[in-house]
Structure 1
């Protein structure tokens, strides 16, 4: 149990905690994506980051909707995993001198973020269904599908352009 969170004793507690975790994570992503947009030199990568920033802002609103639907206050709890992924991304970005290698590094970091998000949203969908909250599950499923689509798009950009240019 974290310092400022309540004990997780029930599946509902786990659902709410996971919701708070991904809410915090999405807020951190929203804060960090503008830097990646600014630093990206590949136009397709820059565009993908811009699109994902807009999607992420919508995803935060969806999470707020789920909190409200579930009768919970909208709040985040520190997500050490996302903080770690973003800290590592910043460190790697700081070590890249070549703009094409930097694009590849940012793309790889973005995919690490996407994979974390997919695990969280997949878990939330499953928990919501188990709790009989199909309404929450359908809202969360929409975001899960967006995360999968973003990951696929990033893979295509990496394989068709960015990684080849960084060689």
Structure 2
């Protein structure tokens, strides 16, 4: 699709983030199965479930502009996911793998937060206030998820991973 207007960019970014969310959800579910720490397993499961609501918000944003909700390959998210797979394979100890998976999940969340901020701003500019609210809701969900991951890491997972080298 040629991008000749802000509307074209908006649609492209909606498709990009739809793909990113769907791929990210699969990866976080995989991380949940690989996590050693029970709190992390639970957090990943909750985040994957919450992603379903985010996908619904994206689909609603497509409906508001009478476009079909279909994703477009997001190479940035593919790269983040590939790195997360490498980290899960290379981290030998469960605590180290848990710390690595938190970092990878946060990288996914940070990417999504930037996309949602941009989409919300563009939706407002284009007069799609309802869509802007949906994108802000998605950004807020990702910000909360990022904070929860940081809290868990700083509470004890990073320390557990660090004591293994001693």
Which interval holds the TM-score relative to the shorter structure?
Answer: over 0.9
Instruction: State the SS of the aligned residue for 2:67.
Output: coil
Q: Which runs of 4+ in 1 moved over 4 A?
A: none
Correspondence for 1:49: 44
- Tell me if structure 1 keeps the 8 A contact 2:28–2:105: no
Instruction: State the SS of the aligned residue for 2:2.
Output: coil
Correspondence for 1:104: 99
Task: Give the Cα–Cα distance (whole angstroms) in 2 for the partners of residues 111 and 74 of structure 1.
Answer: 25
User: Which ranges of structure 2 fall in alignment gaps of 5 or more residues?
Assistant: none
Pairwise CA distance, 1:62:
1.1
Task: Give the Cα–Cα distance (whole angstroms) in 1 for the partners of residues 71 and 149 of structure 2.
Answer: 27
Q: Does 1:81 align with 2:76?
A: yes
**1:12-51 superposed matches below 5 A:** 12-51=7-46
Which of 137, 148, 157 aligns to 2:152? It is 157
Pairwise CA distance, 1:46:
1.0
Aligned residues: 162
Superimposed CA distance per residue, residues 5-44 of structure 1 (whole angstroms, 9 cap, x where no aligned partner): x111100000000000000001101222221001111122
Q: State the TM-score, normalizing by the size of structure 2.
A: 0.96
**1:60-75 superposed matches below 5 A:** 60-75=55-70
Pairwise CA distance, 1:139:
1.2
CA RMSD, Structure 1 to Structure 2 (Å): 0.7
Instruction: State the SS of the aligned residue for 1:160.
Output: helix
Task: Give the Cα–Cα distance (whole angstroms) in 2 for the partners of residues 122 and 77 of structure 1.
Answer: 19
User: Which ranges of structure 1 fall in alignment gaps of 5 or more residues?
Assistant: 1-5
Task: Give the Cα–Cα distance (whole angstroms) in 1 for the partners of residues 94 and 122 of structure 2.
Answer: 42
Instruction: State the SS of the aligned residue for 1:137.
Output: helix
Instruction: State the SS of the aligned residue for 2:97.
Output: helix
